Chains A and B, each alone.
Chain A
Amino acid sequence: MKTTRLAQLASLAVVGSMALAACGSDNTTGSTSAEGSSSSASASESAATECFSGTLNAEGSSAQKNAIEEAIASYGEACKDAKLNYNPTGSGAGIKQFIAGQVDFAGSDSALKTEGKDGAQSEAVAAEAFCGSPAWNLPMVTGPIAIAFNVKGVDKLTITPAVAADIFSGKITTWNDAKIAEINKGVTLPATAIKVFFRSDESGTTENFTKYLKAAAPEGWTADASKKWTGAGEGKEKSAGVAEGVKSTDGGVTYVEWSYAKDNKLGIASVDNGAGAVELTGESVGKAVAVAEQAGTGNDLALKLDYATKEAGAYPIILVTYEIVCSKNKDAEKGKNIKAFLKHFASTDVQKGLEEIGYAPLPKEVEDKVLTAIDALS
């Protein structure tokens, strides 16, 4: 009996020691494959990067996950002692955790709401109460939404908001419809049927795209903007699903984040909001961000996007995601660390690198404003 008991104890000890034996290493730089590392990584050795040693935790929007991960990776390469974590739990969850003091800053697709629902405290007031100072919205990453298509023989296409509304609500059913032909003179359009793909899951992309349709083509698109698709077409799961649908279907069209349209080599329509066709480029997106009205005051850079903008050369279907921070952190050390990381994130090098992965860099004038605001953080 004694011996078997010993054997049993020993096997328990084995399980226990598994926990201790699993001592791994954080040093991943030596073994990573070079493939896919962006230019931002190589540029990060510039002397401008201020380092800190410690941990920063952030949480929020999944739309900026890939962008902030890239920034964290390049920051980590320059500053070995800095540990940054970003959990893409969604904008709403990020703001809640920020107000509850669980994270150091939040990522959000929309600025803090200044009006509370049903007499409840608004997000902005709650955040200020937690911070003991106003909370600022800093626009950091811009994600354009592409109208991606796959029509044999057509590689350039222009779409107006009215036509987009008609296509996505199922009123226009073939690619050679007179309404499309009218704005695409010189392009031979086939009689292929239009096959709309939409996101079957609830999605911020759907919300932003329908916001755009509602704002820019109020007559053609009457439904309210929502996370759930209300138009015509066939539903597919996630961005990867709709992009794959269009890729494999002649006559397919969808709305999807720029990176997916690029990765799948889909046609990307130019958008004509009334001041001529605008191609989707980092620059044209930047222009739309630059002309956006500032809704916040001073260093609170909450933006009010104008989807119906008639500004020449501005691509209007965009999503701006913010970092939400306390303007004065109770813990001065934390404030300094946040400042150092955000400075890196907003720097030209990092922002340029984001274009490769489907985000648009901040335009110079906005970047300057953001950097000024970051300098004022403490």
Chain B
Amino acid sequence: MSTVTHVGEESTRAKAVTLPDMGGKSSGRAIKDQAARIVMWSAFVIACVPLVWILVSTLLKGGHMLASVDWWTLSQNGITARREGGGAAHAIQGTLIQGAVTALMSVPIGVLTAIYLVEYGRGRFAKAVSFMVDILTGVPSIVAALFIYALWVTTFGFQRVPFAVTLALVLLMIPTIVRSTEEMLKLVPNELREASYALGVPKWKTIVSIVLPTAFSGIVTGVLLGLARVMGETAPLIILGPYTKSMASNLFDGLMGTLPTMINQDRTEALQPAVDRVWGAALTLILIVFVLNLLGRFLGRFSKVS
């Protein structure tokens, strides 16, 4: 008996006394701790190398292009790889328009799907929907592009127009939105819903005026991150959206230039004006995606659930 108490006493005392300077006493753990720290930090640095490299080299090689007003206000109409001048306004506009239209189509579908899955979906059908979203997440962009090409051009016999590009992008954006929205809705505490029900508010109204507003900024963050992702997509653009050097805003007729296709157009060129433009376009695209990401993170901070 006494031994047991003794051991018990000792262990209590040991806990109380040694816990604060545990690192000092057991050097084996300290070494492991240091080793893990070094491995983690070097992994972090290694992961940062390509990122910093890309940012620095695009900044150095394309930075001067973005400094001119022309870059933001003029198109490449009438400019060849040999000539300097012109801007990327047509491509920036094309990328933003296609991104906006893609978001316009995929946000309602994505958010409504997520609401169904979280609030209503039970049983087999919900499982099937969730499974389909998983599959859609794994579809490579080139497959989405070829699917739309087969549908739009081969089956319906339409021309390749910017709208077809946005259809392919919608396929890529919906699963991202469904998943992020789902997570956000799940984070809304059940007590809020229950409190609402207790006051006699119907389910639909609870969702519209309690659940959605609570998760709103989280949903917006997810949408912006998804948007940033599809704006950099290249495969659907190369297959469905041929490049044009002039300004275009019609989604249903003609071609529309975008930043990825602008890069693709001149990427094999060795002539300096074209090389500069390719770097400039790459930097512009990085900037747009970067701003969207920042905006997403910024709005995420206002989130009431996290």
Interface residues of A (CB under 8 A from B): 1, 4-5, 7-8, 11-12, 15-16, 18-19, 22-29, 31-33, 35-38, 55, 57, 59, 62, 65-66, 69-70, 72-73, 76-77, 83, 85, 87-88, 100-103, 238-240, 260, 357
Contacts and interface: CB of A to CB of B under 8 A. Distances in A.
B247 interface: yes
A24 B216 contact: no
A85 B256 CA distance: 10
Contacts of A36: 82-84, 273
A28 B81 contact: no
Given A4-B302, A33-B84, A240 B79 contact: no
Contacts of A37: 83
Nearest to B154: A100
Contacts of A26: 74-75, 77, 90, 246-247
Interface stretch (B30-38, B96-104, B175-183): B96-104
A264 to B, nearest CB: 10
Nearest to B261: A87
Contact of B89 (A16, A24, A73): A24
Residue in B75, B81, B242 with the greatest tally of chain A CB atoms within 10 Å: B242
A31 B69 CA distance: 11
A5 B84 contact: no
Contacts of A8: 216-217, 220, 299, 302
Nearest to A4: B302
Contacts of B254: 55, 83
B96 A19 contact: yes
20 contacts: A1-B213, A4-B217, A11-B220, A25-B75, A25-B247, A26-B247, A28-B70, A28-B86, A28-B87, A31-B74, A66-B82, A69-B81, A72-B80, A76-B77, A77-B78, A87-B243, A88-B265, A101-B157, A102-B160, A103-B242
Interface of B: 70, 72-87, 89-90, 92-93, 96-97, 99-100, 153-154, 157, 159-160, 213, 216-217, 220, 224, 227, 242-247, 254-255, 265, 268, 270, 273, 292, 295, 299, 302
B246 A238 contact: no
Nearest to A54: B254
B78 A83 contact: no
A36 B273 CA distance: 10
Nearest to B86: A28
**Binding site of A, secondary structure by majority: helix, strand, loop or mixed?**
mixed
A36 B159 CA distance: 35
A55 B246 CA distance: 11
Given A32-B78, A35-B84, A73-B79, A19 B299 contact: no
Nearest to B74: A28
A238 B160 CA distance: 30
Contact of A32 (B79, B217, B265, B268): B79
A257 to B, nearest CB: 10
Contact of A57 (B70, B153, B242): B242
B244 A24 contact: no
Residue in A1, A24, A76, A240 with the greatest tally of chain B CB atoms within 10 Å: A24
B69 to A, nearest CB: 9
A28 B79 CA distance: 8
Contacts of B292: 15
Contacts of B87: 24, 28
A69 B96 contact: no
Contacts of B265: 87-88
A66 B242 CA distance: 17
B73 to A, nearest CB: 5
B247 A24 contact: yes
A299 to B, nearest CB: 28
Nearest to B76: A28
A32 B72 contact: no
A22 B154 CA distance: 33
A29 B79 CA distance: 9
A85 B245 contact: yes
